[in-house]
Amino acid sequence: MSDLLPLFPLPSVVLFPGVSLPLHIFEPRYREMVAHALTADHLIGMVLLREGWQTDYEGRPPVFEVGCTGVVTHWEMLDDGRYNVILHGVERFRILDENHERSYRRALIDPLPERALGMNGRDALRTERTRIEALLTPAGDGSHLDPRTAAAMNDHDLVNTLSQYLDLAPLEKQALLEQPSIVERGQALVELLEMRAMAGDHARRVSPRTSIVH
């Protein structure tokens, strides 16, 4: 990896290790970013914009310090200079410092490798997977993940894929990304799914009463 990682900040996208993300690149500064990445190591750092980014989107609005490096595995350059790319998540990182010499942002980063799992960790992750599967509804989880594909995934990839593609708020996904281990991410994902299930049950109990008060 080069010393400075190109940053691609977005308001609603969080990339996770081991998960692929399709992107359409149309802004001139990010076209330049992709062009440079393709001549180097193909690496781009996805980061989430902090609240209030709307007032300075064309500039350098604040971002969360923890993001995920992705490698461009497939790309297509369109006739007008736009790109369609597939970014595959590699590793979490923390931003140490930013460089603004180019039209797009670059950063000095500190890699955040996830903790290796021993036997106990693998057992704990399998437990969290079982809990997650029990909380997901086949048609209502919002992940658009084929059940057969999910069943074929290992525990680690399933947790990260669901963390990225479930219908969760960007801040919830960011909180999942910042978990220091895959086991803790699985536990946090279970908590989010349990809260959503409780909220759904509450809405179903309340709605019949509220519907007659008009």
Of 137, 146, 128, 133, the C-alpha closest to 201 is 137
Which domains occur in the chain, in start order? 5-112 (2.30.130.40), 119-209 (no CATH)
Which tokens hold the place of 177?
């990304």
pLDDT tens-digit readout, 88-132: 999 999 999 999 999 999 999 999 998 878 888 999 999 999 999
Cα distances (angstroms) measured from residue 109 to each of 68, 94, 102, 182, 191: 10, 5, 17, 21, 30
In whole angstroms, give the CA distance from residue 40 to residue 27. Answer: 20
pLDDT tens-digit readout, 10-44: 999 999 999 999 999 999 999 999 999 999 999 99
Q: Which residues pair with 9 in a beta bridge?
A: 47
Confidence label for 145 from pLDDT (cuts 50, 70 and 90): low
Q: Are 109 and 96 in contact (CB under 8 A)?
A: yes
Q: Which residues pair with 10 in a beta bridge?
A: 48
